[in-house]
Structure 1
Amino acid sequence: MVTLEDIRAAQARIRGMVRETPMRASAGLSEAAGGPVWLKCEHEQETGAFKLRGASNAAAQLGQAAGVTTASTGNHGRALAHAARQLGIPAIICVSRLVPKNKIAAIEALGAEARVTGASQDEAFEEARRLEREEGFALIPPFDHPDVVAGQGTLGLEILGQLPEAAAIAIPLSGGGLLAGVALAAKALKPDIRIIGISMERGAAMAASLAAGHPVEVEELETLADSLGGGIGLENRLTFVLCRDLMDELILLTEDEIAEGIRFLAAEEGETVEGAAAVGAAAVLAGKLRAELGPLVLLLSGRNIDPGLHRAVMEGER
């Protein structure tokens, strides 16, 4: 398992490799939530998403390898490509046909190969495992890895360092690496803090797995929150248990609710974010999330939305 000490070590290890991102109060969301709401602007990270933390921590501890590989819905792949370029090693990022073209282009712009294979993240993962098994690449998974979880946990330390009075943190939930890391750090420092996971109704693998009591496969469906797609792995070793034990509440959203979150953040807060990053604001606007017990932190996890899709959402076409 991952400890607070592991997360503190990760924080020291990646200092200088990642940015400390700002926290901003939101008057409009505070009014809607019935209490103070703060936006943790992790979409301002260098690669446009929180994933740089976990990827950098894991890559910085690699031994001898032909290169690095992973399967990704986009943001982890981009982060790992960035870390690999810093380390001067090859990277092959395996993605499914559902990954938006802008995210594939961003991976390739960093000098990595984006290998499109399969119709789901699980199928893309099979190619990453083959590269590990047959070609000597180091496989750094997008979430179910202790070094990745510890790296994401640095966000929990940062949030409470900036806002010690935070009463709850709302976290986009996919494979659970982000939620697990932030929850481990936050609850170690402040045991009564509430951790709220938020996902989409369409193909939320962690939600389905928690309901079943064990990891299950789900059909990966097209969604505005594409970064939250993909399975958690039937052999999940870490994040399923941590999410089950540390998450206080789980909220699922419709596509219309996610779209409204994207629109509000752009129009009222001046923040262009992807669907996965808008779920916290969406939950507040839909009346599913309140801040009556004290300051609520919404984690804006990434900004890497396709520009055409963002225009369509803003014009009410999605």
Structure 2
Amino acid sequence: MRAVPLDPFDLESYGGHLTVSADDARAAAEMLDGVITRTPVTESRALSTIAGTKVLLKCENLQRAGSFKVRGAYVRLARLSPEERERGVVAASAGNHAQGVALAASMLGIDTVVYMPVDAALPKVAATRGYGAEVRMVGSSVDEALAAARVEAARSGRVLIHPFDHVDVVAGQGTVALEILEQVPDVATVVVPLGGGGLVAGIAAVLAEVAPHVKVVGVQAASAAAYPGSLEAGRPMAGTLGATMADGIAVGLPGDVPFGIVQKEGVEVRTVTEDQLSRALLAVLERSKLMVEPAGAAGVAGIMAAGPGVFAGPVVAVLSGGNIDPLVLLRVVQHGLVAAGRYLKLQVRLMDKPGALARLVETIAAAGANIVAVDHTRTDVSLSVSEVSVNLQLETKGEEHRTAVVERLESEGYEVAAF
């Protein structure tokens, strides 16, 4: 089998050009008719209060395969030649693109191999295999998995289906913008999670042509944000990938196609912290009753971090995906509760005598906090013979209550360490 071209600057590998038009997105929408779900838009009163203007959520977390990725994946695969389909395809992803490619390939009858990082969420791996793809686990990031996929494409002749760096993929993602314009005709700002850039670029390309007054904002995880440095340099630059719960947007190098569009259309890029991501996920889950993954909540995090009056409304935040491991969800929710001041961990030293622990519990109850867990130990080397250490996990009602609980304990003479 012959190898496919892998040079990222080879125009043939992009379908002959590096731009995407509104007509490209419209053609993609026709191709996707009956394939994807037209996802709903729902208003969030809680976010509207925070932003000082009307905020709506575009629920791509409710899309087939759990994210917007199936849009671009299906368009890319459907446009392969019969000879390319016969060779099969190879892809790389932390999960959402993997599922999108696997689902699209199953509908089109194309043999698929997907490379995923070794720590990819187990439900995403299982779902990808469930759609019929062969999954190979390699590397610790999407970039390393993508490198392995390129090697496989060169070795076997399979067509590389890039997660974001192809005009067909970007055009497919741009169909989100067409739906937003129909569902929210007066939209003024669209806030979008940003990783490699396919979704942001597709939305920006369509809106720049059809509704140029609409502002597009991309939001990255601060610890994995390659776009700010790339935009400053004027070309895609590899960024440092730190630890982030938002694995779906943890991409170390922007794609040439999406970067060119993001740069040309003047997309504003913001970053959010891990605390902000977890608080956003918790807010969407608690107030809008919607399950999203951390990456999918990045746009909401950007709105919450910005506060009132920053974005012109109506604002549409794209919830890009809802594929989350329940164990990760448990940790993220707990993290979000801590960040929101509704969960407090304390270490308190007591004299080792009868009634000391009971008195501590009574003080906490009087302060209005609920004890979730207690760990009582006498063996810590930092303790004196007459002391015990008590680790407590408490539910609180917010930052003010959290502070009041600590102050109440300290006023009763307890030595408190919060962590």
Q: Do the two structures share a fold, i.e. TM-score over 0.5?
A: yes
Asked whether the equivalents of residues 284 and 290 of structure 1 are also in contact (C-alpha less than 8 Å), the reply is: no
Which residue is equivalent to 2:290?
271
Q: Deviations over 1:159-211 (max 9, x none)?
A: 00111100010010111100000111122111111000101101212233223
Asked whether the equivalents of residues 283 and 289 of structure 1 are also in contact (C-alpha less than 8 Å), the reply is: no
CA shift at 1:10, angstroms? Answer: 0.5
Q: Does 1:305 align with 2:324?
A: yes
- C-alpha distance in 2 between matches for 1:220 and 1:95: 16
Which residue is equivalent to 1:199?
220
Which residue is equivalent to 2:246?
225
Which residue is equivalent to 2:148?
127
- C-alpha distance in 2 between matches for 1:280 and 1:128: 29
**2:312 counterpart letter in structure 1:** L
- C-alpha distance in 1 between matches for 2:126 and 2:228: 30
Runs of 5+ consecutive residues of structure 1 not aligned to the other structure? none
Query: Secondary structure, in 3 states, of the residue corresponding to 2:292?
Result: coil
Which residue is equivalent to 2:359?
none
CA shift at 1:288, angstroms? Answer: 4.8
4+ runs of 1 displaced by more than 4 Å?
Answer: 288-292
CA shift at 1:240, angstroms? Answer: 1.1
Asked whether the equivalents of residues 166 and 257 of structure 2 are also in contact (C-alpha less than 8 Å), the reply is: yes
Q: Deviations over 1:50-88 (max 9, x none)?
A: 001000111111112321111112101110000111111
Q: Does 1:110 align with 2:131?
A: yes
Asked whether the equivalents of residues 189 and 311 of structure 2 are also in contact (C-alpha less than 8 Å), the reply is: no
CA shift in 2, pair 1:26/1:86, >3 Å = same
Which residue is equivalent to 2:273?
254
- C-alpha distance in 1 between matches for 2:335 and 2:149: 38
Question: Which structure would you say has the larger Rg?
Answer: 2
Asked whether the equivalents of residues 215 and 232 of structure 1 are also in contact (C-alpha less than 8 Å), the reply is: yes
- C-alpha distance in 2 between matches for 1:197 and 1:77: 22
Which residue is equivalent to 1:281?
300
Q: Does 1:151 align with 2:172?
A: yes
CA shift in 2, pair 1:288/1:215, >3 Å = farther
Equivalent residue in structure 2 for 1:39, among 57, 68, 74: 57
Matches within 5 A, 1:138-177: 138-177=159-198
CA shift in 2, pair 1:62/1:9, >3 Å = same
Matched pairs, number: 316
**2:274 counterpart letter in structure 1:** E
**1:137 counterpart letter in structure 2:** R
Task: Identify which range, 198-207 or 151-160, moves more after superposition.
Answer: 198-207
Query: Secondary structure, in 3 states, of the residue corresponding to 1:179?
Result: helix
**1:231 counterpart letter in structure 2:** G
Matches within 5 A, 1:5-20: 5-20=23-38
- C-alpha distance in 1 between matches for 2:264 and 2:198: 14
Higher RCO (CA < 8 A, seq sep 6+):
1
Which residue is equivalent to 1:184?
205
Task: Identify which range, 146-155 or 64-73, moves more after superposition.
Answer: 64-73
Provide the alpha-carbon RMSD of the alignment: 1.6
CA shift at 1:316, angstroms? Answer: 3.3
**2:113 counterpart letter in structure 1:** I
Percent of counterpart pairs with the same letter?
A: 38
CA shift at 1:251, angstroms? Answer: 1.2
CA shift at 1:33, angstroms? Answer: 0.4
TM-score by length of 1: 0.95
Which residue is equivalent to 1:30?
48
CA shift at 1:289, angstroms? Answer: 6.8
Equivalent residue in structure 2 for 1:54, among 52, 65, 72: 72
Query: Secondary structure, in 3 states, of the residue corresponding to 2:66?
Result: coil
- C-alpha distance in 1 between matches for 2:333 and 2:154: 45
Asked whether the equivalents of residues 236 and 256 of structure 2 are also in contact (C-alpha less than 8 Å), the reply is: no
Asked whether the equivalents of residues 10 and 57 of structure 1 are also in contact (C-alpha less than 8 Å), the reply is: yes
